[in-house]
């Protein structure tokens, strides 16, 4: 699929040329007046307890839309236990401030004793989700979402693998010294790199906030090919689980780890450590079993999809692999079958259609071959037996 490789290379050029603080709590009260017997004093006016706390959007430095609230609605995997925490300056979790509550049927409500005015991390543990491609039920593991603020207009959030990957990168960068706002932006940009269709949206902070609400879209520009439910990217991560024969929770874990280092070719984490993928042992997946992500990908990625490096063929960087083969090729295959060429072209403006305005026959054939191989893997995958 030489054409696809050219498109991915063009998108990466834009990423490299187009990409490169923190919020705080505010409080109100009265200031003690020092009495001077020779100087009249003006009594201070106490702040009404009902006055809403000021909430700042640290991504822009301006007031956040809406007002402070003590209620957060959201969604997570069905049956997950959800807890909210303060976020420390180094990106780690502080004290629990709401929960735990159960995401019954995938939805939850968190009630705070005091309306939060700064960064909040919401963590969902356990639960399960369907993986539609192979009709399995996957364990949820632990997922997180970090939001720069919660207000009456930003209090319905969706915890997904995308928010988990972004939060993973954010915490890693904050622990290295980055301000929370900068670390958050880096986390979102890095996560969005998993799909080259997002290349023109990488620096739009409204996109970052919409990701927390479950949408890959901008408030300032319109692209009909983008998904308001983040469908393509979430499906792409599910397909990665099929391609590598891994449970969903471990897919999130390894993708988040390699995202810390901006997806290095040798699949290391942000600290330069080898990422352990885990392995199937006795019919169960053991996340601690010794097998590097590099080894797993070299075994599972077809030679036709590998890159030349140091005189040998190696698996591509994780973002390239997910973007090209799990998302773009899948979308292309659907377009080739359904004739939805223009939708595909809108989503991937770097792709050059034929002079007849179509996807080339060679690319359609290659896309069909890869999707057929993914379907064939279901029969032998151990992860496809998780019912």
- Asked whether residue 292 is domain-assigned, the answer is no
Q: What is the pLDDT of residues 274-312, one digit of tens each?
A: 999 999 999 999 999 999 999 999 999 999 999 887 778
Give the Cβ contact number of residue 370 at 10 Å.
22
pLDDT at residue number 75: 97
**The total number of structural domains that make up the chain:** 1
- Asked whether residue 146 is domain-assigned, the answer is yes
Percent of the chain whose pLDDT exceeds 90 = 74
Task: Place 52 in a pLDDT band, splitting at 50, 70 and 90.
Answer: low
Give the ranges where the chain is alpha helix by DSSP (H): 2-18, 161-175, 180-192, 205-212, 231-244, 248-260, 293-300, 318-321, 329-338, 341-347, 361-377
Reply yes or no on whether the pLDDT at 71 is more than 80: yes
Residue 290's SS3 state is coil
- How large is the average pLDDT for residues 78-89? 97
68-82, 216-230, 354-368: least confidently modelled range: 216-230
- Asked whether residue 116 is domain-assigned, the answer is yes
CA–CA distance, 37 with 11 (Å, rounded to integer): 72
Place of tokens 């780690």: 92
pLDDT at residue number 349: 86
- Asked whether residue 92 is domain-assigned, the answer is yes
- Asked whether residue 174 is domain-assigned, the answer is yes
- Asked whether residue 130 is domain-assigned, the answer is yes
- Asked whether residue 122 is domain-assigned, the answer is yes
Reply yes or no on whether the pLDDT at 30 is more than 80: no
Q: Decide which of 204 and 226 is more confident.
A: 204
Q: What is the pLDDT of residues 116-164, one digit of tens each?
A: 999 999 999 999 999 999 999 999 999 999 999 999 999 999 999 999 9
Percent of the chain whose pLDDT exceeds 70 = 85
pLDDT at residue number 251: 97
pLDDT at residue number 222: 66
Cα separations (Å) of 296 from 64, 299, 331?
44, 5, 25
Reply yes or no on whether the pLDDT at 36 is more than 90: no
Which of 161, 184, 172 lies closest to 76 in space, CA to CA?
A: 161
CB 217 within 8 A of CB 210: yes
Task: Place 228 in a pLDDT band, splitting at 50, 70 and 90.
Answer: confident
- Asked whether residue 99 is domain-assigned, the answer is yes
- How large is the average pLDDT for residues 22-30? 38
Own/partner pairs for 377-381, CB < 8 Å, 24+ apart? 377/242, 377/243, 377/245, 378/133, 378/134, 378/242, 381/134, 381/242, 381/245
CA–CA distance, 292 with 286 (Å, rounded to integer): 13
Helices (H) and strands (E) in the chain, counts: 11, 15
Residue 67 is part of which domain span?
63-212
């Amino acid at each position: 699929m030489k054409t696809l490789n050219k498109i991915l290379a063009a998108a990466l050029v834009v990423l490299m040329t187009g990409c490169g603080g923190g919020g705080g709590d505010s409080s109100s009260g009265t200031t003690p007046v020092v009495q001077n017997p020779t100087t009249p004093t003006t009594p201070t006016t106490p702040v009404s307890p009902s006055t809403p706390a000021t909430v700042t959007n640290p991504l822009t430095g301006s007031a956040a839309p809406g007002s402070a609230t003590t209620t957060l609605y959201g969604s997570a995997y069905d049956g997950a236990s959800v807890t909210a925490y303060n976020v420390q300056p180094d990106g780690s979790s502080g004290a629990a401030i709401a929960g735990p509550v159960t995401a019954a049927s995938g939805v939850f409500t968190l009630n705070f004793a005091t309306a939060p005015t700064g960064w909040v991390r919401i963590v969902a543990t356990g639960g399960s989700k369907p993986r539609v491609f192979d009709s399995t039920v996957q364990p949820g593991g632990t997922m997180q979402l970090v939001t720069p603020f919660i207000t009456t207009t930003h209090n319905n959030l969706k915890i997904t693998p995308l928010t988990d990957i972004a939060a993973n990168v954010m915490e890693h960068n904050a622990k290295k010294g980055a301000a929370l706002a900068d670390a958050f932006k880096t986390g979102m940009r890095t996560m969005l790199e998993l799909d080259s269709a997002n290349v023109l949206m990488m620096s739009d902070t409204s996109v970052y906030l919409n990701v927390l609400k479950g949408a890959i879209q901008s408030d300032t520009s319109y692209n009909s090919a983008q998904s308001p439910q983040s469908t393509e990217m979430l499906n792409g991560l599910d397909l990665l689980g099929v391609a590598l024969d891994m449970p969903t929770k471990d897919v999130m874990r390894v993708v988040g780890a390699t995202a810390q280092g901006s997806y290095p070719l040798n699949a290391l984490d942000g600290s330069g450590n080898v990422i352990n993928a885990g392995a199937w042992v006795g019919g169960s997946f053991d996340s601690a079993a010794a097998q590097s992500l590099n080894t797993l990908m070299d075994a599972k990625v077809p030679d036709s999809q590998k890159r030349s490096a140091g005189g040998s063929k190696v698996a591509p960087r994780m973002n390239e692999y997910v973007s090209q083969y799990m998302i773009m090729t899948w979308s292309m295959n659907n377009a080739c079958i359904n004739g939805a060429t223009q939708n595909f072209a809108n989503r991937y403006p770097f792709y050059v259609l034929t002079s007849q305005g179509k996807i080339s026959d060679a690319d359609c054939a290659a896309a069909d071959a890869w999707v057929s191989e993914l379907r064939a893997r279901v029969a032998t995958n151990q992860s496809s037996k998780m019912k």
